[in-house]
Amino acid sequence: MDLILPDFGLLVWTGITFSLLLFLLAKFAWKPILNAVNTREQNITDALELAEKTKAEMQALKAENDQILKAARAERDQILKEAKEAANHMVEEAKGKAKDEAAKIVESARQNINSEKAAAMAEIKNHVASLSLEIAEKVVRHELGSDDKQKALATQLAGEIKMN
């Protein structure tokens, strides 16, 4: 019968011990443990959320990057094309200019040469004329140095004149 009858002494000790145990555990064990567990769970939830958010952000960023890259590539192609065109144009222009310049130079050189040539020719002509005169003078002077010779010449000249 006393198996199912509560014992006063044991009840008192149980009351004291259990109350003390509950107080000490609640204050010094459950509180820090549950706090740590809750904090960690919160951290994990936050981290997962952040990861999800970051992933979405990354995706958006990647899409944006792709867009930018595509635009940049197009722009680069455009710029390259333009640059090539500009370069070609410049080269063409430079070529034309150079040709013109060269032609001009050649033309002016030719004119120069011609004028120089003409001047030289004139000078030579003058020179030749004076030389010829001088020679002729000298020859004449020589041929007509004596009376004999003057006579001989006059004879010769007279002989050459055919009386036809």
Residue 146: both structure tokens together: 């004596």
Classified as helix, coil or strand, 1 is coil
The answer to whether residues 146 and 152 touch, using CB atoms and an 8 Å cutoff, is: no
User: How many Cα atoms sit within 13 Å of 58 on the Cβ side?
Assistant: 6
Distances (CA, A) of 92 to 24, 78, 88, 89: 96, 20, 6, 5
Q: Which is nearer to other proteins, 30 or 92 (CB)?
A: 30
Determine contact, residues 144/153, Cβ cutoff 8 Å: yes
CB of 81 to other proteins, least distance (A): 59
| Closest CB 69 distance from other proteins, rounded Å | 41
Comparison of 9 and 159: residue with beta carbon closer to other proteins: 9
Closest CB to other proteins among residues 41, 101: 41
Task: Give min distance, CB of 47 to other proteins, in A.
Answer: 12
The residues binding other proteins (CB under 8 A) are 2-15, 17-18, 20-22, 24-26, 28-37, 39-40, 43
Secondary structure class of 61 (helix, strand, coil)? helix
* C-beta of 39 vs 78, nearer to other proteins: 39
**Residue 53 Cβ, how far from other proteins at the closest point, in Å?**
21
